[in-house]
Every structure is written in structure tokens, then in C-alpha cells.
């Protein structure tokens, strides 16, 4: 089983004023009657509802928050107008462990090419300025940091995962749709982009995969186990979902 970057969903929509607002209905693990509504910075609207809830009831709950959703979308769209795809030039903002760092590209023909985290900046030294080379060096740096960080966090989370008898093998792999996965034989695979997220988000994904060693599907027993080892995991998951668009590009 895996932790998707975007949850499996059903697309629904409603009209508010002169706008047709589309939202994704996803399954809410905890079987409570409440519908949780979240508007993400990339303008995705997510309604988390119990699996057994009728579509009409979900739609009604979302419509009641129509004005709030509309205002959130308006504010985030204004922000997106100033957001462009990364060009890998000095002055850009890049994430590492949940914090933003300014990118500083240094052209130094005589220096070894590489990345350093210094005084709140990500300094990338290149022989000649090239966006492709800066991106390549940053990608390699993130993968190296991910390998080191994920190994440490896995060891820390294993102290809580008392059902795991042996340290599972760990693999780092860039994935388009998943933060992490657990194979049937217990190998854990994690997405290097995850190292850009806060530590608690990394811990959440690792614990999710460790729970799959005990429970191979998303059963009630699985969610009960998640709740025992990370009581506030739903809030942490929401935080990670909200960051997805800015830490995966």
C-alpha cells in the first residue's frame, strides 16, 4: 500500500454565484459523520467524507461553505498569479525540512560544483551558469539529504512500531503520485521530494508504511494502529497535502 501525493477521489461540483466550483470527494478514514473541507494553495478543493455518506449530503455540506470556499479560491488565485515555475536562478525560494531557503547561484570556474546550506541560503556553485546544471546539482543534493534523513527518521519511528521485528529495507525513488509505499515483503520506498516537508510529515509517511507491515490494507485496524502511534496524523496529512504543489515541482 502507499501514501498518495493526491488522494483517490470522486469529482463533484456546485455553482456559487457565477462560478462553477469543482471539488474532490475523498474517503475520510475515521468513520464520523462530519465532512471536512479544505482549500489548498494550488486551488484544489477537497471534501473528506465518510465512505457511507450519501453524495447529496456531501454536496449539501460543501454548498453551506460555498462563500468561504469562494473567498479562499479568490485569495489563492491572487497568490498563484505571482508564482512561476522554478528557473533555478538566484533569489528563488526552495524548501528543505519544511523551511524556505533562498537560492544563490555562484559562478566559480575553479571551484568544485556542488550545493551547500549556509546562513539560510542554498548556495549552488557551478562552473558556468546553467539552469539545467543547477537543477541537476540540487536534485542530487536533495536525494543525498533524503537518504540520510529518512534513515534517521526510520530508526526513530521503529521505536514506536513495536510490531516490526526487523529494520525494513529502505529505498529512495522519485515518484509522480506517491510519497511512499510498502511492498508485500516489507521494503519501504520513499519519495526524495518528501525531504522538503517538515519532519512531522516525514514521520507520518514512514509510520503509515510501517503500519502496512502489520495491516496490508486501509482497514479499520490499520487506522486504529495509526491513531495509536500518531494521534494527530490527520492534521499532519492535511499539512503535507497542502504543500504538495510547492515541493514536487
Fold classified for 93-247: Zincin-like (3.30.2010)
- The domain limits of the chain are 2-81, 93-247
User: Which DSSP helix (H) or strand (E) runs through 155?
Assistant: helix 131-158
pTM of the predicted model as reported, rounded to 2 decimal places: 0.72
What is the reported pLDDT for 212? Answer: 93
pLDDT of 145 reads: 97
Segments in the chain below pLDDT 50 = none
d(CA 86, CA 94): 9
Cell numbers given for 107:
559562478
Q: Provide the CB-side half-sphere exposure for 137 (13 A, CA).
A: 25
Spell out the residues 6+ positions from residue 132 whose beta carbon is closer than 8 angstroms to its own: 88
Whole-number pLDDT of residue 217 = 85
pLDDT digits (tens, 9 = 90+) for 100-146: 999 999 999 988 999 999 888 999 999 998 999 999 999 999 999 99
Per-residue confidence (pLDDT) for residue 110, from 0 to 100 = 87
The CA distance from 32 to 34, in Å, is 6
User: Which three-class secondary structure state does DSSP give residue 24?
Assistant: strand
Q: Which of 202, 207, 200 is nearest to 182 (CA)?
A: 207
Amino acid at each position: 500500500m502507499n501514501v498518495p501525493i493526491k488522494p483517490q477521489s470522486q469529482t463533484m461540483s456546485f455553482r456559487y454565484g457565477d462560478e462553477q466550483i469543482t471539488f474532490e470527494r475523498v474517503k475520510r478514514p475515521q468513520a464520523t459523520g462530519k465532512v471536512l473541507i479544505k482549500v489548498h494553495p494550488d486551488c484544489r478543493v477537497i471534501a473528506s467524507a465518510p465512505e457511507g455518506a450519501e453524495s447529496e449530503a456531501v454536496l449539501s455540506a460543501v454548498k453551506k461553505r460555498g462563500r468561504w470556499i469562494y473567498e479562499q479560491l479568490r485569495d489563492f488565485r491572487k497568490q498563484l498569479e505571482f508564482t512561476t515555475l522554478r528557473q533555478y536562478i538566484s533569489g528563488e525560494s526552495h524548501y528543505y525540512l519544511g523551511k524556505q531557503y533562498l537560492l544563490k547561484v555562484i559562478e566559480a570556474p575553479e571551484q568544485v560544483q556542488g550545493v551547500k546550506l549556509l546562513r539560510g541560503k542554498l548556495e549552488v556553485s557551478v562552473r558556468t551558469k546553467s539552469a539545467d546544471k543547477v537543477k541537476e546539482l540540487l536534485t542530487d543534493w536533495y536525494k543525498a539529504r533524503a537518504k540520510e534523513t529518512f534513515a534517521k527518521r526510520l530508526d526513530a519511528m521503529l521505536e514506536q512500531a513495536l510490531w516490526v521485528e526487523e529494520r525494513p529495507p529502505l529505498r529512495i525513488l522519485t515518484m509522480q503520485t506517491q510519497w511512499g509505499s510498502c511492498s508485500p515483503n516489507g521494503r519501504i520506498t520513499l519519495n526524495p521530494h518528501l525531504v522538503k516537508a517538515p519532519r512531522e510529515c516525514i514521520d507520518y509517511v514512514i509510520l503509515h508504511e510501517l503500519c502496512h507491515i502489520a495491516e496490508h490494507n486501509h482497514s479499520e485496524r490499520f487506522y486504529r494502529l495509526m491513531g495509536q502511534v500518531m494521534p494527530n496524523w490527520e492534521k499532519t496529512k492535511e499539512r503535507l497535502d497542502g504543500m504538495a504543489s510547492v515541493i514536487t515541482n
